[in-house]
Structure 1
Amino acid sequence: MRSPPQVPAVDWRPTDADTAALSLPDDRRLAYATYGDPDGDPVLFCHGTPGSHVVARLLDTPARERGVRLIAPDRPGIGGSTDAPVGLDDWPADAAALLSHLGVESAAAVGFSGGGPFALACHRLPEIERIALVGSSGPPEIGSTGRVQQFVGTLSRHAPWALGRLFRLQRWVALRRGPSYAVDFVADETPETDALSADEVARIVRADMLTAMARGPSAVVREQRLLSEPWPFDLADVSVPVAVYQGRDDANVSPSTGRALADRLPRASLELVDADHLGTLTAAGDDALAAVRRRTRV
Protein backbone atom coordinates (compact mmCIF):
# COMPACT_ATOMS: atom_id res chain seq x y z
CA MET A 1 0.00 0.00 0.00
CA ARG A 2 1.42 3.36 -1.05
CA SER A 3 2.07 5.82 1.76
CA PRO A 4 0.23 9.14 1.54
CA PRO A 5 2.36 12.07 0.36
CA GLN A 6 4.06 14.04 3.10
CA VAL A 7 2.71 17.56 3.40
CA PRO A 8 5.38 20.03 4.52
CA ALA A 9 4.68 21.65 7.87
CA VAL A 10 4.06 25.37 7.76
CA ASP A 11 6.12 27.65 9.98
CA TRP A 12 3.81 28.68 12.80
CA ARG A 13 6.03 30.31 15.38
CA PRO A 14 4.93 33.84 16.32
CA THR A 15 7.49 36.56 15.72
CA ASP A 16 5.80 39.54 17.36
CA ALA A 17 6.19 38.65 21.05
CA ASP A 18 9.15 39.52 23.20
CA THR A 19 9.57 36.09 24.76
CA ALA A 20 11.89 35.54 27.69
CA ALA A 21 12.37 33.10 30.57
CA LEU A 22 13.47 32.92 34.16
CA SER A 23 14.96 30.14 36.24
CA LEU A 24 12.74 29.13 39.16
CA PRO A 25 14.16 28.09 42.57
CA ASP A 26 13.94 24.40 41.60
CA ASP A 27 15.85 25.13 38.35
CA ARG A 28 12.77 24.86 36.15
CA ARG A 29 12.50 27.29 33.24
CA LEU A 30 9.40 29.50 33.14
CA ALA A 31 8.86 31.12 29.74
CA TYR A 32 6.76 34.23 29.29
CA ALA A 33 5.94 37.03 26.88
CA THR A 34 4.88 40.62 27.45
CA TYR A 35 2.37 42.63 25.45
CA GLY A 36 0.81 46.07 25.60
CA ASP A 37 2.47 49.02 27.33
CA PRO A 38 5.89 48.04 28.76
CA ASP A 39 5.53 50.80 31.36
CA GLY A 40 1.86 50.14 32.11
CA ASP A 41 0.01 48.59 35.03
CA PRO A 42 1.06 44.92 35.30
CA VAL A 43 -1.58 42.28 34.61
CA LEU A 44 -0.81 38.56 34.76
CA PHE A 45 -2.53 36.73 31.88
CA CYS A 46 -3.39 33.04 32.40
CA HIS A 47 -3.91 31.27 29.08
CA GLY A 48 -6.47 28.56 28.38
CA THR A 49 -6.18 24.77 28.16
CA PRO A 50 -4.92 23.87 25.64
CA GLY A 51 -3.27 27.24 25.17
CA SER A 52 -0.13 29.28 25.63
CA HIS A 53 1.17 32.82 26.00
CA VAL A 54 0.46 33.37 22.29
CA VAL A 55 -3.28 33.93 22.75
CA ALA A 56 -2.54 37.06 24.79
CA ARG A 57 -1.41 38.62 21.50
CA LEU A 58 -5.14 39.17 20.83
CA LEU A 59 -5.12 41.76 23.61
CA ASP A 60 -1.88 43.51 22.67
CA THR A 61 -3.50 46.63 21.20
CA PRO A 62 -6.18 47.14 23.88
CA ALA A 63 -3.52 46.55 26.56
CA ARG A 64 -1.33 49.23 25.02
CA GLU A 65 -4.25 51.65 24.72
CA ARG A 66 -5.32 50.97 28.33
CA GLY A 67 -1.82 51.44 29.72
CA VAL A 68 -1.53 47.77 30.70
CA ARG A 69 1.61 45.67 30.74
CA LEU A 70 0.26 42.20 29.93
CA ILE A 71 2.51 39.46 31.34
CA ALA A 72 1.71 36.07 29.76
CA PRO A 73 3.62 33.04 31.10
CA ASP A 74 3.51 29.53 29.69
CA ARG A 75 2.53 27.17 32.49
CA PRO A 76 4.75 24.12 33.13
CA GLY A 77 5.12 21.87 30.09
CA ILE A 78 3.65 24.51 27.79
CA GLY A 79 5.68 26.27 25.11
CA GLY A 80 9.14 27.02 26.48
CA SER A 81 8.40 26.15 30.13
CA THR A 82 9.86 23.05 31.76
CA ASP A 83 7.30 20.36 32.48
CA ALA A 84 6.48 19.56 36.11
CA PRO A 85 3.43 18.25 38.03
CA VAL A 86 2.31 21.73 39.05
CA GLY A 87 -1.29 21.92 40.27
CA LEU A 88 -3.67 24.76 41.01
CA ASP A 89 -2.28 25.08 44.53
CA ASP A 90 1.33 25.19 43.22
CA TRP A 91 0.85 27.69 40.40
CA PRO A 92 0.73 30.84 42.60
CA ALA A 93 4.34 30.21 43.67
CA ASP A 94 5.44 30.21 40.01
CA ALA A 95 3.38 33.34 39.35
CA ALA A 96 4.88 35.08 42.38
CA ALA A 97 8.41 34.21 41.21
CA LEU A 98 7.67 35.74 37.82
CA LEU A 99 6.23 38.93 39.31
CA SER A 100 9.23 39.24 41.62
CA HIS A 101 11.59 38.67 38.71
CA LEU A 102 9.93 41.56 36.88
CA GLY A 103 9.97 43.80 39.95
CA VAL A 104 6.17 43.85 40.24
CA GLU A 105 4.82 44.55 43.72
CA SER A 106 1.12 44.93 42.86
CA ALA A 107 -0.77 43.50 39.92
CA ALA A 108 -4.02 42.05 38.66
CA ALA A 109 -4.77 38.76 36.90
CA VAL A 110 -6.90 37.84 33.89
CA GLY A 111 -7.80 34.21 33.21
CA PHE A 112 -9.23 32.97 29.90
CA SER A 113 -11.05 29.64 29.62
CA GLY A 114 -9.01 26.96 31.45
CA GLY A 115 -6.73 29.72 32.71
CA GLY A 116 -9.52 31.14 34.85
CA PRO A 117 -8.96 28.67 37.71
CA PHE A 118 -5.23 29.45 37.67
CA ALA A 119 -5.97 33.19 37.86
CA LEU A 120 -8.35 32.60 40.76
CA ALA A 121 -5.73 30.48 42.54
CA CYS A 122 -3.54 33.60 42.61
CA HIS A 123 -6.01 35.37 44.91
CA ARG A 124 -3.77 34.14 47.76
CA LEU A 125 -0.88 36.28 46.55
CA PRO A 126 -0.58 39.70 48.20
CA GLU A 127 0.49 41.12 44.84
CA ILE A 128 -2.84 40.29 43.16
CA GLU A 129 -5.44 42.97 43.86
CA ARG A 130 -8.10 42.28 41.21
CA ILE A 131 -9.06 39.42 38.89
CA ALA A 132 -11.04 39.16 35.66
CA LEU A 133 -12.39 35.87 34.26
CA VAL A 134 -13.17 35.58 30.54
CA GLY A 135 -15.11 32.47 29.48
CA SER A 136 -13.63 30.76 32.52
CA SER A 137 -13.97 27.12 33.48
CA GLY A 138 -15.60 26.51 36.84
CA PRO A 139 -15.13 23.92 39.58
CA PRO A 140 -16.67 20.51 38.88
CA GLU A 141 -19.41 20.94 41.49
CA ILE A 142 -20.96 23.60 39.26
CA GLY A 143 -21.42 20.84 36.69
CA SER A 144 -22.08 23.08 33.73
CA THR A 145 -19.24 22.57 31.27
CA GLY A 146 -20.04 21.85 27.65
CA ARG A 147 -20.34 18.31 26.38
CA VAL A 148 -16.93 18.42 24.71
CA GLN A 149 -15.27 19.54 27.94
CA GLN A 150 -17.09 16.84 29.90
CA PHE A 151 -15.81 14.23 27.42
CA VAL A 152 -12.24 15.57 27.61
CA GLY A 153 -12.37 15.68 31.41
CA THR A 154 -13.55 12.07 31.56
CA LEU A 155 -10.77 10.93 29.24
CA SER A 156 -8.16 12.84 31.28
CA ARG A 157 -9.18 10.95 34.43
CA HIS A 158 -9.80 7.48 33.06
CA ALA A 159 -7.82 7.20 29.80
CA PRO A 160 -5.14 9.91 29.74
CA TRP A 161 -3.18 7.95 27.14
CA ALA A 162 -6.14 8.20 24.75
CA LEU A 163 -6.51 11.92 25.34
CA GLY A 164 -2.79 12.36 24.72
CA ARG A 165 -3.12 10.56 21.37
CA LEU A 166 -6.11 12.75 20.48
CA PHE A 167 -4.16 15.93 21.22
CA ARG A 168 -1.15 14.67 19.24
CA LEU A 169 -3.43 14.02 16.28
CA GLN A 170 -4.99 17.47 16.55
CA ARG A 171 -1.57 19.10 16.56
CA TRP A 172 -0.39 16.99 13.62
CA VAL A 173 -3.42 18.04 11.60
CA ALA A 174 -3.10 21.69 12.68
CA LEU A 175 0.47 21.75 11.35
CA ARG A 176 -0.81 20.67 7.94
CA ARG A 177 -4.10 22.55 7.73
CA GLY A 178 -4.99 26.20 7.53
CA PRO A 179 -5.62 28.36 10.60
CA SER A 180 -9.38 27.83 10.43
CA TYR A 181 -8.91 24.26 11.69
CA ALA A 182 -7.70 25.51 15.07
CA VAL A 183 -10.41 28.17 15.26
CA ASP A 184 -13.12 25.51 14.89
CA PHE A 185 -12.29 24.23 18.39
CA VAL A 186 -13.04 27.55 20.09
CA ALA A 187 -15.41 29.51 17.85
CA ASP A 188 -18.34 29.19 15.48
CA GLU A 189 -16.68 31.73 13.22
CA THR A 190 -13.42 33.66 13.33
CA PRO A 191 -13.90 37.02 15.05
CA GLU A 192 -12.04 40.16 14.13
CA THR A 193 -11.02 43.10 16.28
CA ASP A 194 -10.36 46.78 15.71
CA ALA A 195 -6.67 45.95 15.35
CA LEU A 196 -6.70 42.43 13.87
CA SER A 197 -8.39 40.97 10.82
CA ALA A 198 -10.14 37.61 10.99
CA ASP A 199 -7.17 36.03 9.18
CA GLU A 200 -4.74 37.47 11.72
CA VAL A 201 -6.87 36.22 14.62
CA ALA A 202 -6.98 32.75 13.06
CA ARG A 203 -3.20 32.65 12.67
CA ILE A 204 -2.75 33.61 16.33
CA VAL A 205 -5.20 30.90 17.45
CA ARG A 206 -3.38 28.30 15.36
CA ALA A 207 0.01 29.35 16.74
CA ASP A 208 -1.48 29.22 20.24
CA MET A 209 -2.63 25.61 19.77
CA LEU A 210 0.72 24.53 18.32
CA THR A 211 2.75 26.30 21.02
CA ALA A 212 0.61 24.69 23.71
CA MET A 213 1.81 21.24 22.69
CA ALA A 214 5.27 22.08 21.40
CA ARG A 215 6.70 19.81 24.13
CA GLY A 216 4.03 17.16 23.67
CA PRO A 217 0.52 16.83 25.11
CA SER A 218 1.32 15.63 28.64
CA ALA A 219 0.95 19.04 30.28
CA VAL A 220 -2.36 19.70 28.54
CA VAL A 221 -3.68 16.29 29.60
CA ARG A 222 -2.60 16.99 33.20
CA GLU A 223 -4.33 20.37 33.22
CA GLN A 224 -7.53 18.89 31.81
CA ARG A 225 -7.52 16.41 34.69
CA LEU A 226 -6.87 19.16 37.23
CA LEU A 227 -9.81 21.19 35.96
CA SER A 228 -12.16 18.22 36.25
CA GLU A 229 -11.21 17.51 39.87
CA PRO A 230 -12.19 19.46 43.03
CA TRP A 231 -10.26 22.71 43.31
CA PRO A 232 -7.90 23.16 46.29
CA PHE A 233 -9.63 26.39 47.36
CA ASP A 234 -13.18 27.54 47.96
CA LEU A 235 -14.69 30.25 45.80
CA ALA A 236 -16.08 31.82 48.97
CA ASP A 237 -12.51 32.46 50.14
CA VAL A 238 -11.62 34.66 47.14
CA SER A 239 -11.66 38.09 48.78
CA VAL A 240 -10.44 40.26 45.88
CA PRO A 241 -12.88 41.81 43.38
CA VAL A 242 -13.56 39.55 40.39
CA ALA A 243 -15.12 40.66 37.08
CA VAL A 244 -16.72 37.74 35.22
CA TYR A 245 -17.30 37.89 31.45
CA GLN A 246 -19.29 35.06 29.90
CA GLY A 247 -20.43 34.46 26.33
CA ARG A 248 -24.11 33.73 25.81
CA ASP A 249 -23.25 31.54 22.80
CA ASP A 250 -20.23 29.81 24.34
CA ALA A 251 -20.25 26.11 23.43
CA ASN A 252 -17.02 25.36 25.33
CA VAL A 253 -18.06 26.81 28.70
CA SER A 254 -21.76 26.88 29.48
CA PRO A 255 -23.21 30.35 30.18
CA SER A 256 -24.49 28.95 33.47
CA THR A 257 -20.84 28.54 34.54
CA GLY A 258 -20.27 32.29 34.41
CA ARG A 259 -23.46 32.93 36.37
CA ALA A 260 -22.51 30.34 39.00
CA LEU A 261 -19.01 31.79 39.39
CA ALA A 262 -20.42 35.28 39.86
CA ASP A 263 -22.96 33.99 42.39
CA ARG A 264 -20.37 32.12 44.47
CA LEU A 265 -17.53 34.63 44.45
CA PRO A 266 -18.03 37.14 47.30
CA ARG A 267 -17.09 40.29 45.37
CA ALA A 268 -18.00 39.50 41.78
CA SER A 269 -19.70 41.24 38.89
CA LEU A 270 -21.10 39.51 35.80
CA GLU A 271 -21.29 40.72 32.21
CA LEU A 272 -22.89 38.51 29.58
CA VAL A 273 -21.51 38.91 26.07
CA ASP A 274 -23.22 38.08 22.78
CA ALA A 275 -20.35 35.88 21.61
CA ASP A 276 -18.98 32.35 21.48
CA HIS A 277 -15.90 31.17 23.41
CA LEU A 278 -13.14 32.90 21.45
CA GLY A 279 -15.42 35.81 20.67
CA THR A 280 -15.85 36.49 24.37
CA LEU A 281 -12.11 37.13 24.64
CA THR A 282 -11.94 39.39 21.59
CA ALA A 283 -15.16 41.23 22.47
CA ALA A 284 -14.74 41.58 26.25
CA GLY A 285 -10.95 41.49 26.62
CA ASP A 286 -10.70 45.28 26.57
CA ASP A 287 -13.40 45.58 29.25
CA ALA A 288 -11.60 42.95 31.35
CA LEU A 289 -8.37 44.93 31.19
CA ALA A 290 -10.23 48.11 32.13
CA ALA A 291 -11.84 46.34 35.10
CA VAL A 292 -8.55 45.19 36.60
CA ARG A 293 -6.34 48.16 35.75
CA ARG A 294 -5.39 50.41 38.64
CA ARG A 295 -7.66 53.41 38.88
CA THR A 296 -4.74 55.76 39.43
CA ARG A 297 -1.21 55.63 38.13
CA VAL A 298 1.66 55.86 40.61
Structure 2
Amino acid sequence: MGSAPPIPATDWLPNDSETESLSLPDGRRLAYATYGDADGYPVLFCHGTPGSHVAARLLAAPARERGINLIAPDRPGIGNSEDAAVTFEDWPDDAANLLSHLDVDTAGAIGFSGGGPFALTCHRLPEIQRVALLGSSGPPSVGATGRVQQFVGALSRHAPWALGRLFRLQRWFALRRDPSYAVGFVAEETPETDALTADEVARVVRADMLTSMARGPSGIIREQRLLSQPWPFALEDISVPVTVFQGQNDANVAPATGTALAQQLPDASLERVDSDHLGTLTAAGDDALAAAQRRTRV
Protein backbone atom coordinates (compact mmCIF):
# COMPACT_ATOMS: atom_id res chain seq x y z
CA MET A 1 0.00 0.00 0.00
CA GLY A 2 1.43 3.38 -0.99
CA SER A 3 1.16 6.67 0.80
CA ALA A 4 -1.19 9.45 -0.33
CA PRO A 5 -0.06 11.65 -3.20
CA PRO A 6 1.64 15.00 -2.53
CA ILE A 7 -0.46 18.10 -2.03
CA PRO A 8 -1.41 19.52 -5.43
CA ALA A 9 -0.31 23.02 -6.33
CA THR A 10 -3.88 24.20 -6.86
CA ASP A 11 -6.69 24.38 -4.36
CA TRP A 12 -8.71 21.22 -3.94
CA LEU A 13 -11.79 19.84 -2.26
CA PRO A 14 -12.20 16.54 -0.41
CA ASN A 15 -12.50 13.48 -2.64
CA ASP A 16 -12.46 9.72 -2.37
CA SER A 17 -9.18 9.14 -4.16
CA GLU A 18 -6.77 9.40 -1.23
CA THR A 19 -8.62 7.15 1.21
CA GLU A 20 -9.05 3.43 1.49
CA SER A 21 -11.54 1.66 3.70
CA LEU A 22 -12.24 -1.54 5.58
CA SER A 23 -15.45 -3.17 6.68
CA LEU A 24 -15.77 -3.40 10.46
CA PRO A 25 -17.37 -6.42 12.19
CA ASP A 26 -20.70 -4.61 12.48
CA GLY A 27 -20.68 -3.85 8.74
CA ARG A 28 -19.70 -0.19 8.99
CA ARG A 29 -17.12 1.28 6.64
CA LEU A 30 -14.08 2.90 8.22
CA ALA A 31 -12.07 5.14 5.89
CA TYR A 32 -8.40 5.93 6.36
CA ALA A 33 -5.38 7.35 4.57
CA THR A 34 -1.66 6.77 5.02
CA TYR A 35 1.14 9.31 4.79
CA GLY A 36 4.91 9.26 5.04
CA ASP A 37 6.81 6.01 4.61
CA ALA A 38 4.48 3.14 3.64
CA ASP A 39 7.02 0.63 4.99
CA GLY A 40 7.86 2.61 8.13
CA TYR A 41 7.00 2.37 11.81
CA PRO A 42 3.20 2.71 12.21
CA VAL A 43 1.77 5.69 14.08
CA LEU A 44 -1.98 6.13 14.45
CA PHE A 45 -3.11 9.74 13.91
CA CYS A 46 -6.29 10.81 15.72
CA HIS A 47 -7.61 13.98 14.09
CA GLY A 48 -9.25 16.91 15.86
CA THR A 49 -12.91 17.84 16.29
CA PRO A 50 -13.91 19.13 13.79
CA GLY A 51 -11.26 17.44 11.70
CA SER A 52 -10.45 14.51 9.46
CA HIS A 53 -7.63 12.39 8.08
CA VAL A 54 -6.62 15.37 5.91
CA ALA A 55 -4.90 17.10 8.85
CA ALA A 56 -2.27 14.35 8.82
CA ARG A 57 -1.05 15.77 5.51
CA LEU A 58 0.69 18.45 7.59
CA LEU A 59 2.95 15.74 9.05
CA ALA A 60 3.51 13.79 5.83
CA ALA A 61 7.01 15.15 5.12
CA PRO A 62 8.49 14.66 8.62
CA ALA A 63 6.85 11.22 8.80
CA ARG A 64 8.55 10.24 5.57
CA GLU A 65 11.91 11.54 6.80
CA ARG A 66 11.60 9.64 10.09
CA GLY A 67 10.54 6.40 8.43
CA ILE A 68 7.01 6.54 9.86
CA ASN A 69 3.84 5.22 8.29
CA LEU A 70 1.25 7.70 9.54
CA ILE A 71 -2.15 5.99 9.62
CA ALA A 72 -5.00 8.52 9.67
CA PRO A 73 -8.55 7.16 9.98
CA ASP A 74 -11.72 9.21 9.76
CA ARG A 75 -13.76 8.51 12.86
CA PRO A 76 -17.45 7.55 12.46
CA GLY A 77 -19.51 10.15 10.63
CA ILE A 78 -16.39 11.89 9.30
CA GLY A 79 -15.28 11.86 5.67
CA ASN A 80 -16.02 8.47 4.12
CA SER A 81 -16.50 6.66 7.44
CA GLU A 82 -20.07 5.61 8.14
CA ASP A 83 -21.69 7.12 11.18
CA ALA A 84 -22.36 5.29 14.43
CA ALA A 85 -22.81 6.20 18.08
CA VAL A 86 -19.16 5.50 18.90
CA THR A 87 -17.89 6.77 22.26
CA PHE A 88 -14.40 7.19 23.68
CA GLU A 89 -14.66 3.66 25.07
CA ASP A 90 -15.77 2.22 21.71
CA TRP A 91 -13.10 3.86 19.54
CA PRO A 92 -10.24 1.49 20.49
CA ASP A 93 -12.22 -1.39 18.95
CA ASP A 94 -12.38 0.44 15.61
CA ALA A 95 -8.69 1.33 15.90
CA ALA A 96 -7.80 -2.29 16.70
CA ASN A 97 -9.64 -3.51 13.61
CA LEU A 98 -7.76 -0.98 11.47
CA LEU A 99 -4.37 -1.98 12.89
CA SER A 100 -5.20 -5.64 12.36
CA HIS A 101 -6.32 -4.90 8.79
CA LEU A 102 -2.90 -3.32 8.16
CA ASP A 103 -1.01 -6.17 9.90
CA VAL A 104 0.32 -3.81 12.58
CA ASP A 105 1.51 -5.36 15.83
CA THR A 106 3.48 -2.41 17.27
CA ALA A 107 2.57 1.25 16.91
CA GLY A 108 2.47 4.67 18.48
CA ALA A 109 -0.44 7.11 18.56
CA ILE A 110 -0.79 10.88 18.14
CA GLY A 111 -3.86 12.86 19.15
CA PHE A 112 -4.39 16.43 17.97
CA SER A 113 -6.88 18.72 19.71
CA GLY A 114 -10.18 16.84 20.14
CA GLY A 115 -8.40 13.69 18.98
CA GLY A 116 -6.37 13.62 22.19
CA PRO A 117 -8.81 11.56 24.28
CA PHE A 118 -9.33 9.17 21.36
CA ALA A 119 -5.57 8.58 21.25
CA LEU A 120 -5.42 8.13 25.02
CA THR A 121 -8.18 5.50 25.03
CA CYS A 122 -6.05 3.42 22.67
CA HIS A 123 -3.60 2.84 25.53
CA ARG A 124 -5.42 -0.40 26.28
CA LEU A 125 -4.49 -1.84 22.89
CA PRO A 126 -1.38 -4.05 23.13
CA GLU A 127 -0.14 -2.58 19.85
CA ILE A 128 0.12 0.97 21.19
CA GLN A 129 3.49 1.65 22.81
CA ARG A 130 3.42 5.41 23.33
CA VAL A 131 1.11 8.41 22.88
CA ALA A 132 1.89 11.99 21.91
CA LEU A 133 -0.68 14.76 22.40
CA LEU A 134 -0.66 17.99 20.38
CA GLY A 135 -2.84 20.77 21.79
CA SER A 136 -5.10 18.12 23.25
CA SER A 137 -8.47 18.79 24.79
CA GLY A 138 -8.78 17.83 28.43
CA PRO A 139 -11.76 16.56 30.42
CA PRO A 140 -13.98 19.30 31.87
CA SER A 141 -12.51 18.66 35.32
CA VAL A 142 -8.97 19.39 34.09
CA GLY A 143 -8.71 22.17 31.62
CA ALA A 144 -10.45 25.24 30.33
CA THR A 145 -11.35 25.75 26.69
CA GLY A 146 -11.93 28.96 24.79
CA ARG A 147 -15.31 30.67 24.81
CA VAL A 148 -16.15 29.38 21.34
CA GLN A 149 -15.46 25.79 22.42
CA GLN A 150 -17.57 26.25 25.55
CA PHE A 151 -20.43 27.60 23.43
CA VAL A 152 -20.17 24.72 20.96
CA GLY A 153 -20.08 22.20 23.79
CA ALA A 154 -23.22 23.67 25.34
CA LEU A 155 -25.04 23.58 22.00
CA SER A 156 -24.02 19.95 21.43
CA ARG A 157 -25.71 19.00 24.70
CA HIS A 158 -28.78 21.24 24.69
CA ALA A 159 -29.47 22.25 21.07
CA PRO A 160 -27.72 19.86 18.66
CA TRP A 161 -30.06 20.95 15.86
CA ALA A 162 -28.78 24.52 16.18
CA LEU A 163 -25.17 23.34 16.19
CA GLY A 164 -25.88 21.34 13.05
CA ARG A 165 -27.11 24.46 11.31
CA LEU A 166 -24.05 26.36 12.49
CA PHE A 167 -21.68 23.72 11.11
CA ARG A 168 -23.53 23.59 7.79
CA LEU A 169 -23.27 27.37 7.51
CA GLN A 170 -19.58 27.18 8.34
CA ARG A 171 -19.04 24.63 5.57
CA TRP A 172 -21.04 26.76 3.12
CA PHE A 173 -18.72 29.71 3.76
CA ALA A 174 -15.60 27.51 3.61
CA LEU A 175 -16.62 26.31 0.14
CA ARG A 176 -16.89 29.86 -1.13
CA ARG A 177 -14.18 31.79 0.67
CA ASP A 178 -10.41 31.92 0.63
CA PRO A 179 -8.71 29.06 2.55
CA SER A 180 -7.64 31.58 5.21
CA TYR A 181 -11.27 31.57 6.40
CA ALA A 182 -10.82 28.02 7.72
CA VAL A 183 -7.46 28.84 9.30
CA GLY A 184 -9.11 31.54 11.40
CA PHE A 185 -10.84 28.89 13.50
CA VAL A 186 -7.58 27.30 14.66
CA ALA A 187 -4.81 29.89 14.38
CA GLU A 188 -3.99 33.57 14.68
CA GLU A 189 -1.99 33.37 11.46
CA THR A 190 -1.19 30.66 8.94
CA PRO A 191 2.05 28.87 9.84
CA GLU A 192 4.62 27.50 7.42
CA THR A 193 6.53 24.25 7.67
CA ASP A 194 9.81 23.04 6.22
CA ALA A 195 7.83 21.34 3.46
CA LEU A 196 4.74 23.53 3.02
CA THR A 197 4.16 27.21 2.36
CA ALA A 198 1.54 29.14 4.29
CA ASP A 199 -0.79 28.92 1.29
CA GLU A 200 -0.41 25.13 1.16
CA VAL A 201 -1.06 24.83 4.89
CA ALA A 202 -4.21 26.95 4.50
CA ARG A 203 -5.49 24.69 1.72
CA VAL A 204 -4.93 21.63 3.88
CA VAL A 205 -6.82 23.22 6.78
CA ARG A 206 -9.69 24.18 4.48
CA ALA A 207 -9.91 20.68 3.01
CA ASP A 208 -9.75 19.23 6.52
CA MET A 209 -12.75 21.32 7.53
CA LEU A 210 -14.72 20.36 4.43
CA THR A 211 -13.91 16.66 4.77
CA SER A 212 -14.95 16.67 8.42
CA MET A 213 -18.49 17.53 7.32
CA ALA A 214 -18.63 15.58 4.06
CA ARG A 215 -21.33 13.29 5.51
CA GLY A 216 -23.06 16.06 7.46
CA PRO A 217 -22.36 17.34 10.97
CA SER A 218 -23.71 14.45 13.06
CA GLY A 219 -20.29 12.93 13.78
CA ILE A 220 -18.84 16.25 14.86
CA ILE A 221 -21.84 17.07 17.06
CA ARG A 222 -21.55 13.73 18.84
CA GLU A 223 -17.83 14.23 19.46
CA GLN A 224 -18.34 17.78 20.72
CA ARG A 225 -20.84 16.41 23.22
CA LEU A 226 -18.39 13.72 24.34
CA LEU A 227 -15.64 16.31 24.81
CA SER A 228 -17.87 18.58 26.90
CA GLN A 229 -18.93 15.86 29.34
CA PRO A 230 -16.92 13.99 31.99
CA TRP A 231 -14.71 11.44 30.30
CA PRO A 232 -15.53 7.78 31.05
CA PHE A 233 -11.92 6.94 31.89
CA ALA A 234 -9.46 8.24 34.45
CA LEU A 235 -6.22 9.89 33.37
CA GLU A 236 -4.53 8.00 36.19
CA ASP A 237 -5.32 4.72 34.42
CA ILE A 238 -3.42 5.51 31.20
CA SER A 239 -0.80 2.80 31.03
CA VAL A 240 1.64 4.06 28.38
CA PRO A 241 4.18 6.90 28.33
CA VAL A 242 2.65 10.15 27.06
CA THR A 243 4.33 13.29 25.77
CA VAL A 244 2.15 16.40 25.98
CA PHE A 245 2.89 19.24 23.54
CA GLN A 246 1.03 22.41 24.49
CA GLY A 247 0.99 25.74 22.67
CA GLN A 248 1.52 28.65 25.03
CA ASN A 249 -0.53 30.98 22.79
CA ASP A 250 -3.34 28.51 22.17
CA ALA A 251 -6.77 30.18 22.15
CA ASN A 252 -8.62 26.88 21.58
CA VAL A 253 -7.07 24.85 24.42
CA ALA A 254 -5.76 26.77 27.41
CA PRO A 255 -2.04 26.23 28.19
CA ALA A 256 -3.10 25.19 31.69
CA THR A 257 -4.85 22.18 30.15
CA GLY A 258 -1.58 20.75 28.85
CA THR A 259 0.06 21.31 32.22
CA ALA A 260 -2.79 19.56 34.04
CA LEU A 261 -2.76 16.62 31.63
CA ALA A 262 0.98 16.12 32.13
CA GLN A 263 0.57 16.31 35.90
CA GLN A 264 -2.26 13.80 36.11
CA LEU A 265 -1.11 11.22 33.59
CA PRO A 266 1.04 8.61 35.40
CA ASP A 267 3.98 8.64 32.97
CA ALA A 268 4.00 11.94 31.11
CA SER A 269 6.25 14.80 30.14
CA LEU A 270 5.28 18.32 29.08
CA GLU A 271 6.78 20.15 26.12
CA ARG A 272 5.78 23.82 25.89
CA VAL A 273 5.48 25.19 22.35
CA ASP A 274 5.70 28.89 21.53
CA SER A 275 2.71 28.84 19.21
CA ASP A 276 -1.08 28.82 18.87
CA HIS A 277 -3.37 25.83 18.31
CA LEU A 278 -2.58 24.98 14.69
CA GLY A 279 1.00 26.10 15.19
CA THR A 280 1.45 23.43 17.86
CA LEU A 281 0.67 20.79 15.24
CA THR A 282 2.97 22.25 12.61
CA ALA A 283 5.82 23.33 14.90
CA ALA A 284 5.89 20.31 17.21
CA GLY A 285 4.58 17.66 14.82
CA ASP A 286 8.03 16.29 14.05
CA ASP A 287 8.86 16.00 17.76
CA ALA A 288 5.51 14.32 18.37
CA LEU A 289 6.28 11.76 15.68
CA ALA A 290 9.62 11.05 17.35
CA ALA A 291 7.93 10.67 20.73
CA ALA A 292 5.32 8.27 19.33
CA GLN A 293 7.99 6.26 17.55
CA ARG A 294 9.97 5.27 20.64
CA ARG A 295 9.40 1.64 21.55
CA THR A 296 9.64 1.16 25.29
CA ARG A 297 6.55 -0.73 26.41
CA VAL A 298 7.10 -4.31 27.49
User: Which of the five TM-score ranges fits, normalised by the shorter chain?
Assistant: over 0.9
**Aligned-pair RMSD on alpha carbons?**
1.3
The normalised TM-score by structure 1 is: 0.94
Q: Does 1:31 align with 2:52?
A: no
1:50 match: 50
1:117 match: 117
2:4 match: none
Distance 1:134-1:143 versus aligned 2 partners, 3 A rule = closer
SS, match of residue 210 in structure 2: helix
Q: Does 1:262 align with 2:268?
A: no
Gaps of 5+ in 2: 1-10
The normalised TM-score by structure 2 is: 0.94
Q: Does 1:126 align with 2:129?
A: no
Q: Please give the per-residue CA displacement for 1:171-196, whole angstroms capped at 9, x wherever unaligned.
A: 00000001000000000000000000
1:7 match: none
Distance 1:185 1:46 in 2: 19
1:193 match: 193
Q: Counterparts in 2 of 1:90-109, with a 5 A limit?
A: 90-109=90-109
1:275 match: 275
Q: Please give the per-residue CA displacement for 1:88-135, whole angstroms capped at 9, x wherever unaligned.
A: 000000000000000001111000000001000111111111000000
Preserved contact between residue 190 and residue 201 of structure 1 (Cα < 8 Å): yes
2:215 match: 215
Q: Does 1:149 align with 2:149?
A: yes
Moved >4 Å (runs of 4+): none
Q: CA deviation at 1:251?
A: 0.2
1:77 match: 77
2:179 match: 179
Gaps of 5+ in 1: 1-9
SS, match of residue 110 in structure 1: strand
Q: CA deviation at 1:147?
A: 1.3
Identity of aligned residues (%): 77
Distance 1:263 1:216 in 2: 37
Distance 1:157 1:238 in 2: 27
Matched residue type, 1:270: L
Preserved contact between residue 35 and residue 64 of structure 1 (Cα < 8 Å): yes
Distance 1:124 1:154 in 2: 30
Q: CA deviation at 1:239?
A: 1.4
Matched residue type, 2:179: P
Q: Does 1:250 align with 2:255?
A: no
Q: Please give the per-residue CA displacement for 1:137-177, whole angstroms capped at 9, x wherever unaligned.
A: 00111141111111111111111111111000000000000
Q: Please give the per-residue CA displacement for 1:216-260, whole angstroms capped at 9, x wherever unaligned.
A: 011101100000111111000001000000000000000000000
